[in-house]
Amino acid sequence: MPDCQNCGSFVTERYVRVFAPNGIDRPRVCPNCTDKLRDGAEIREARSARQ
């Protein structure tokens, strides 16, 4: 089962297919990450705490 490279949380294969770059089977960040988020094709530090 795929997991997030940043926080280690479980992600679905569908999430990987949609949000991870082609050829990558583990996303760099997921909705469970509190310290990073996706910003277009880039990953950046969160400006405030996410809930």
Instruction: Give DSSP secondary structure letters for the chain.
Output: --B-TTT--B--HHHHHHHSPTT-SS-S--TT-SSEEEETTEEEE-SS---
Full residue range of the structural domain in which residue 22 is found = 13-45
pLDDT for res 50:
63
- Is the residue at 22 inside a domain? yes
pLDDT for res 8:
92
- Is the residue at 2 inside a domain? no
Place of tokens 């990450």: 33
When divided into structural domains, the chain yields a total of: 1
- Is the residue at 3 inside a domain? no
- Per-residue model confidence as pLDDT tens digits over 1-51: 899 999 999 999 999 999 888 888 999 888 888 888 777 777 788 877 666
d(Cα 34, Cα 22) in Å, to the nearest integer?
A: 24
